Structure 1
Amino acid sequence: MIAETGSIELSTSPGRPRIIRTKNTIQKVKNSLKRKKRVSTRKLASELKISRSAQRILKNDLGLTSYKKRIEPLLTDTQKAKRTTFANWVRHNFSKEQSMRILFSDEKMFDLNGMYNCQNDQVWAVNHVEADKNGGVEQKQQFPQKVMVSLGISSEGATPLVILDNGTVNCQRYIDEVLPVALKYGNSVFGDDWMFQQNTAKPHIHQLSQK
């Protein structure tokens, strides 16, 4: 080959010619993606009658990766405007040193069921019965016990946990149980020069809490 062509590169693939992952099929897959962004590889393979080659075309030929949809809160235009205004206010009124003296706080509801992701937590077995024996069943209570936990975070660490386990959290409980912990932590870590940042939950923005 070197004597005849000056190269050892093959003009054609040495394997058997492709009959499924052809240029025409790859173009059809690309066109399907243009028509609709959400494409199931199983449905795509069924429509084009190309078995599992649809996944190979998407990954190997088109260089694409499958991503799951992320869940984000739906913000109104008013909320977006307020966030932009707040961000600009922080940029123009806080130095980096000052921003390190902010104590952020939030609450989170926990229940006995906990967090479970069926996509990641899988059991490998020869059949469904064997899988169930080896922990393939996740039992959940319909009305599990719940507890709310409040926590503050700063550049210096975290406040002690505040367990709010009896009833709902109103402004009075927030004032009596959460704010004293935040005040004690902030004063002990930052002295008298720091800021407490809370969100817009109703107990937080109540006039008594603000006062």
Structure 2
Amino acid sequence: MADKVKRDQIVALKTAGTSNKCIVKQLTVCRKTVFHTWKQFQETDTTSCKPIPGRPHSIRTKSFVSAVKKEMERNPQRSVWEIAKEAKISRSSMQRIVKNDLQLSPYKKQSRQLISEPSKQKRLHRVKLMLQEMERAAGKVFIWSDENMFTVEAVTNKQNDSLYAKSLKDLSIKARSHLKRQKPASVMVWAAVASDGSKSPLIVIEEGVK
């Protein structure tokens, strides 16, 4: 957007009957600037810039955003609502700071197997022995096998599996319930893979077989 001096010059030239093309060439401004400046003058009788809509960014200052960033880095687990409450600002303002200014996104914790330090060292030692054996016996084929128990029961996600209704009473008990068995049916499956890329079929182990 051109400064006020240029806008005043545009209005003066337009009032004198100068064409847009000549104004663009004479003042070195774009056609869009000439058009909007003249339109604004006709509507408001002024060349002053229109006030920016919305509330001013009195809270989202650089120092405040920097303080929020430090707090998020110190404890990434804190919720936006907690930080907003402590800073005495609205939750929506804090969300804009986190999302727009800091460009942070929420991530859920991932479930991982808890492994003790001795188990980690034992696994590392076994892997090193395996790699050494594979280097010594380049022509051999190594086979790895494992089994896993699969539960034959529908899996539900309490957060995402939702039902929409005006009232819970509008849904039948069957529709709004997830039935679970005390001892759900399960099946054991065994398989093996080889270092040459081949693999075994999936073997379903009969119940009671060890």
TM-score by length of 1: 0.58
Provide closer, same or farther for how the CA distance between residues 142 and 54 of structure 1 changes in structure 2, counting only shifts above 3 A: farther
User: Aligned to 1:57, which of 75, 88, 97?
Assistant: 97
Q: Alpha-carbon deviation of 1:131?
A: 8.4
Q: Who is 1:116 aligned against? A: 156
Residue 86 (structure 2) aligns with: 47
Deviation of the 1:62 alpha carbon: 0.9
2:199 paired with 1:160 = no
> 1:132–1:157: structure 2 CA closer, same or farther, 3 Å change rule?
farther
| Distance in 2 of aligned mates of 1:115 and 1:100 | 42
Q: What is the aligned partner in structure 1 of residue 108 from structure 2?
A: 68
The higher relative CO (CA closer than 8 Å, separation ≥ 6) is in 1
With 78-87 and 154-163 compared, the bigger mean Cα shift is at 154-163
Distance 1:31 1:7 in 2: 44
Q: Tell me the secondary structure at the aligned position of residue 63 of structure 1.
A: coil
* One-letter amino acid of the structure 2 residue matched with residue 152 of structure 1: A
Gaps of 5+ in 1: 174-211
Shift of 1:69: 1.6
CA contact (8 A) 1:151 1:161 kept: yes
Whether 1:106 aligns to 2:136 is: no
Looking at structure 1, the residues matched to 140 and 5 of structure 2 have their Cα atoms a distance apart, in angstroms, of 72
Matched residue pairs, number? 162
Is 1:105–1:151's contact at 8 Å kept on the other side of the alignment? yes
Cα displacement string for residues 140-161 of structure 1 (whole angstroms, at most 9, x for unaligned residues): 2233233322222342234232
Does the CA-based 8 Å contact 1:109-1:149 persist in structure 2? yes
SS in 1 for 2:100: helix
Q: 1:14 to 1:57 in 2, by over 3 A?
A: same
SS at match of 1:108: strand
SS at structure 2 position matched to 1:56: helix
The one-letter code matched in structure 2 to 1:163 is: I
Match of 1:94 among 134, 151, 162: 134
Structure 1: distance between partners of 2:206 and 2:75: 47
Measure the CA separation in 1 of the matches of 2:29 and 2:129: 66
Identity fraction in percent: 27
Structure 1: 4+ residue segments shifted above 6 A: 5-8
Counterpart Cα distance in 2 of 1:123 and 1:143: 26
Gaps of 5+ in 2: 7-27, 31-50
2:175 and 2:140 map into 1 onto residues whose CA distance is 45
Q: Specify the structure having the higher radius of gyration (Cα).
A: 2
Q: Deviation string for 1:51-75 (max 9, x for gaps)? A: 2332332222112222222222222
SS in 1 for 2:107: coil
Alignment TM-score, normalising by the size of structure 2? 0.59
